[in-house]
Structure 1
Amino acid sequence: MPEPTGWESRIPAWLRPRAALWLGGRVGRLVLDGAGELVRVQIFDRSMTLAAQSFTSVFPLLIMLAALVGAGHRARLAEVLHLPATSERLLQQALSGSHSNAFGVVGCLIVLLSATGLSRALVRSYLVVWTVREKPGGAAASGRQIGTVVVLVVFLLFARVLGWVASLLPAPHVSGVLVAFVADCALAVLLPWLLLGRRAPKGPLLAGGLVFGLLMIAVRGAGAIYLPRALQSSADRYGTIGLAFTYIGWLYVLSFCLLLAAIIGNLLSREFLTAAPADEP
């Protein structure tokens, strides 16, 4: 038999069968545990809940922001948000004739409080994924929920800035992927940390952030091709309701990736970041 190369050559010959058995057993157990976790967490139902809550939480905040900045800055806001031409026209039509005083202090507070539905859905999801029994409560928890939604909106607004920063670096395409990867990892770590604080387990939290960043490399590439075409096609066929369904569908994909990354991160932390069990004699 040919001599092994690479990392296998570093393992003593007498230990290679046991190492292969241990690795194969762990990977197999990881796959089976992952399938069980997907069922336990009810990832499809929770992803749809997060998508719907994202649509009814983040978009009203963006509309409120567009009304507050005034008509002269709405086109710039649409450009920052990467809105296609059809969506930008609908935004202008929805806000035509409105002024900054359309959203008073009370109105802004109502929009902010309504947007915490997304935060509460995220809290429930993370509690189930990580089997955390103690649920955050009180005024501090409400403040964290509002802050989480604000962080999401800020992330959307500064996504274009990150692309501009990447364009100034060497190899812009590669730099853009790396910058987006770091931003996605940071977002996946920051959201549960803001919502749960010390209740969020560090190992699964960091591992899930890395997994989400890796997943988003593929999702971003597919979305850059699919989403503009899907939005234009939906608007041509069904009008405003078509745009809404397309956005909800895309938010479902993002929510699914976020929960899947948390589940995989939890499994990886449990399987590979802990000491290997001793073999039976």
Structure 2
Amino acid sequence: MRDAAGGVVAALRTSPAGRMLWRIVEGLVEIQVVDRSLALAAQIFTSVLPVIIATSVFSGWSAAADTIRDQFGFDTGTLELGDAAGSSDPSLAAFGVAGFLMVVLSGTSFARALGRVYGAAWQVPSMGPRDAWRWLATLLAVALAVGLVGQTRDLTHLAYVGRPLALIGEIVVWTLVWTLTPLLLTKDALTGRMLWGTGLLTAAGLTVVHVAGRAVLPRTAASARQHFGPLGLAFTSVSWLFVMSLVIVGAASMVGSLAADESLIGRFLRGPERNERAAEQL
């Protein structure tokens, strides 16, 4: 068995495509993709989701409920929310605005966790308190993108072209936000090609996961709620967020590994300037 494994490793390292694949696998192991994805999923659940809920103060509960149903697979109408969601009491509204600000400020832990992922993937320094606005901008950008992706489902009602347009819209939204996010959290340390490569790879992965989720999540969430109540919904949501986080962390790690490779893809991602610097250092 060891001889066979050694032969596979040797075969991978002797071909350009094999070396690139080996570098990607090494990068995923070094970044601890599972541990970081678990941590990021928890931060999304405790940071991004509360921001989406808090925005109902301004946009109305129906928009937030549609977003939660689209992203997490369960209908909030099945939960016992009381009259809070529909209340128009001015004191409640004022509390909602203050609560929204508190949720946003505390929710930057998600952006800090994502910044640590990018730091490990691309070997860039972590940001300090002086750059706190970048954390805030990242949190709001991701929360807004999640809502916009949910709104793209309205395009499916168009005859013939509705579903392709919705799919294209989702890919465009994810690409833009996951290109902007590493730009903010790495302080412009990456080349434009690495940023767009990360955005496109992350968007492709999240779109595939989201399409699969629309078929799987409603039944899974309904079964979990039936057996375990609200705790079942929470567990299902965090589990699905873990899958999405695997895509986010994995895409960053893959782009970092490809950019460090001497293949055509690596040289393209690094761009002319970085390739010239590398040549001068040799």
Partner of 2:128: 137
Sort the Cα spacing of 1:202 and 1:91 in 2 relative to 1 into closer, same or farther, 3 A.
farther
Q: TM-score, normalised by structure 2?
A: 0.78
Task: Tell me the CA shift for residue 60 of structure 1.
Answer: 1.8
Partner of 1:125: 117
Partner of 2:76: 87
Where does structure 1 lack aligned partners over 5 or more consecutive residues?
Answer: 1-20, 277-281
Bigger radius of gyration = 1
Q: 1:114 aligns with which of 93, 106, 121?
A: 106
Q: 2:64 aligns with which of 64, 71, 77?
A: 77
SS at match of 1:112: helix
Listed as ranges, the matches of 1:1-281 within 5 Å are: 25-66=15-56, 68-69=57-58, 73-82=60-69, 86-90=75-79, 92-93=81-82, 95=84, 99-105=92-98, 107-132=99-124, 134-139=125-130, 141-165=131-155, 168=158, 171-271=161-261, 272-274=265-267
Sort the Cα spacing of 1:169 and 1:261 in 2 relative to 1 into closer, same or farther, 3 A.
farther
Task: Tell me the CA shift for residue 151 of structure 1.
Answer: 1.1
Where does structure 2 lack aligned partners over 5 or more consecutive residues?
Answer: 1-10, 269-274, 276-282
Sort the Cα spacing of 1:208 and 1:87 in 2 relative to 1 into closer, same or farther, 3 A.
same
Sort the Cα spacing of 1:28 and 1:146 in 2 relative to 1 into closer, same or farther, 3 A.
same
**Contact preservation (8 Å) 2:224, 2:232:** yes
SS at match of 2:81: helix
Task: Tell me the CA shift for residue 58 of structure 1.
Answer: 1.4
Query: Bigger CA drift: 195-204 or 179-188?
Result: 195-204
Q: Distance in 1 between matches of 2:41 and 2:153?
A: 25
Sort the Cα spacing of 1:128 and 1:198 in 2 relative to 1 into closer, same or farther, 3 A.
same
Task: Tell me the CA shift for residue 268 of structure 1.
Answer: 2.9
- Name the % identity: 26
Q: TM-score, normalised by structure 1?
A: 0.78
**Contact preservation (8 Å) 1:50, 1:121:** yes
Q: Distance in 2 between matches of 1:217 and 1:75?
A: 23
SS at match of 2:69: coil
Partner of 2:3: none
Task: Tell me the CA shift for residue 154 of structure 1.
Answer: 1.1
Task: Tell me the CA shift for residue 130 of structure 1.
Answer: 0.3
Task: Tell me the CA shift for residue 86 of structure 1.
Answer: 4.2
The amino acid of 1:192's aligned partner reads P
Task: Tell me the CA shift for residue 69 of structure 1.
Answer: 4.1
Q: Distance in 2 between matches of 1:64 and 1:150?
A: 12
Task: Tell me the CA shift for residue 230 of structure 1.
Answer: 1.2
SS at match of 2:187: helix
Task: Tell me the CA shift for residue 92 of structure 1.
Answer: 2.8
The amino acid of 1:92's aligned partner reads L
The amino acid of 1:126's aligned partner reads Y
Sort the Cα spacing of 1:128 and 1:177 in 2 relative to 1 into closer, same or farther, 3 A.
same
